[in-house]
Structure 1
């Protein structure tokens, strides 16, 4: 019989706690704190994410039912919802944001050799944002519209392993294209974006930084053709052109030539026009790169369905950002565990297993043996099959 740590404690052991405590010290997170340190707050909110708790009362009731196991989970004493609410409102959310970025760096190293399905050695990023709707009367700080509040998650997703390399949480009014000002371009990397990010001054900043981009052209693009390359129309590529911008301001913003590819889906007949600054990659690869942008949409859908970022435990801006960053940390932590233990199960399956076994004192490898629960010691019964005639 295994009498060691609980499964939750084993999961928490994958976290770099020395790094976490250094970050807490930098932001004075535990200054004059007598109960519920930042580490305990992180553990409790991570527990809430892993077990799908919906409210502070829900968290309090669930932990109170397991009082004798709290110490083994790294929680010194039962926590009241008022204490947790105060911590969410007052502990600096930047502690958890910086810690999440440390986990992201660790996860990206683990997934650096993942296969993209494309013959590329470049790092490929997908940039997009998602809006989380809030109630304006409860979250008045979340500026969005006259009758609704919201926060936005601007995310740069590394497509090797679907790990977010950059996340910025803003109010709902921040336009997507402004996120390009917050990104440090990586030379040689490819940034895939939808046409909401078409701003030629910002795209030219990527170009002069030796980075590549793939995006969709807007319908009012003012440009002329300089050269047309031969294409195989049976692949859906209608044309592959080198163009120059004609608009007075756009020509100043982007004085170099661009690549324009017109692609028609054989199944639906829909035509898309792509813009890129890479003239070396084959045109089908450019189209496949834009198609891979869908992974960031799947990432947003996944975290909204399987993590608690649509219902919040507090109403202040600090509480909301704290919950979002700890949710991101949990997502990346599960991805790290999956890679380090060489697990074939999906992240969804791992979360489902964790949600019902966190209080169990079993080795983590044993809990994650998905599909191997059948015992070889079952006796053979000479029982007729219902469908044997």
Structure 2
């Protein structure tokens, strides 16, 4: 069992495409500019625990190596952060990771465990990496789990250093990574980070940080109000009443504008 205090993070990056002729400082490819938004979402509430913005050409794992996680955290890592040396370091520090195994990875099967094939599991193996370079970078034994999604029929191969959790739990942990995709989709659609007001590096960074701060404020407002409104509904409601002087909680509850009902929660928000 996982202790309630254990932190689960999902670390991913996303490119924010920029026109190289307009944003020459964001050099990424020959004719393309971009920056990378690295986000770690906490499993409890799927709120950003950390965010780092780098230039598009910076390698993803460089950011990953700088992060400090509590011992026994479970870190779900995008394939862009693949680094065998880092896997060894995380294991030595008592931090669990779940990621996708590279298709061209060379390894040796040490042992096999039985799996429930009716639950989509194909295999559950203990492996060691082969090849002189890879074996030197990551000399620890890891766990390889193959799983087929019953809905899409797609086959996934996971790599983890966690031998305690059930194989299906490992697959479910990685599957929950979809929440990160929903997070990026939400901020792109609702907080306008596809187009930028300014073209300087500082202007772009400022707009991104403002959008993320706005997301956290909306999440706090949703939690504090304890109402069954989505974050998007709260955002639309605030946009429609942006220049109205209203009691915030009364607005969220849908009270008439003239209703002056006192609400002590308003003081908490202020």
Q: Normalised by the size of structure 1, how large is the TM-score?
A: 0.63
For 1:271, the equivalent position in structure 2 comes to 155
Cα deviation, 1:22-66, whole Å, max 9, x if unaligned, reads xxxxxxxxxxxxxxxxxxxxxxxxxxxxxxxxxxxxxxxxxxxxx
Residues 1:197 and 2:42 aligned together:
no
**Which residue matches 1:128?**
12
- What is the CA-CA distance between 1:167 and the residue it aligns to? 0.9
Residue among 252, 255, 267 paired with 2:139: 255
Q: CA deviation at 1:194?
A: 2.7
Higher helix share: 1
**What's the counterpart of residue 345 of structure 1?**
229
Distance 2:246 2:153 in 1: 54
The CA deviation at 1:177 is 2.3
Using the TM superposition, give the Cα deviation of residue 124 of structure 1 relative to its aligned residue in structure 2, in angstroms. 1.1
CA distance in 2 between partners of 1:175 and 1:159 (Å): 25
Say which one has the larger Rg. 1
Counterpart of 1:115 in structure 2 is none
1:227 corresponding residue in structure 2: 111
Residues in 1 aligned to 2:136 and 2:186: alpha-carbon distance in whole angstroms: 41
Find out whether 1:292 has 2:176 as its counterpart: yes
Distance 1:289 1:367 in 2: 38
SS in 2 for 1:368: helix
Deviation at 1:261, TM superposition (A): 0.6
1:309 is matched with: 193
For the residues of structure 2 that align with 1:298 and 1:138, how far apart are their CA atoms? 29
Query: How far off its partner does 1:119 sit?
Result: 6.9
> Is 1:361 equivalent to 2:249 in the alignment?
no
User: For the aligned residues, what is the CA RMSD?
Assistant: 1.6
Match of 1:75 in 2: none
Counterpart of 1:238 in structure 2 is 122
Distance in 2, Cα, partners of 1:149 & 1:135: 5
1:137-156 alignment, distance < 5 Å: 137-156=21-40
Query: Residues of 2 paired with 1:264 and 1:130: CA distance?
Result: 26
1:214 to 2:121 alignment: no
Give the deviation of 1:266 after TM superposition.
Answer: 2.6
Query: Displacement of 1:154 after TM fit?
Result: 0.8
Larger strand percent: 2
**Which segment is superposed worse, 247-256 or 118-127?**
118-127
User: Hey, which bits of structure 1, 4+ residues long, moved more than 6 A?
Assistant: none
Partner of 1:323: 207
**2:11 is paired with a residue of what secondary structure?**
strand
Please state whether the residue corresponding to 2:253 is helix, strand or coil.
Answer: coil
The match for 2:46 among 156, 159, 162 is 162
For structure 1, the 5+ residue unaligned runs are 1-117, 374-389
Unaligned runs of 5+ in 2: 257-270
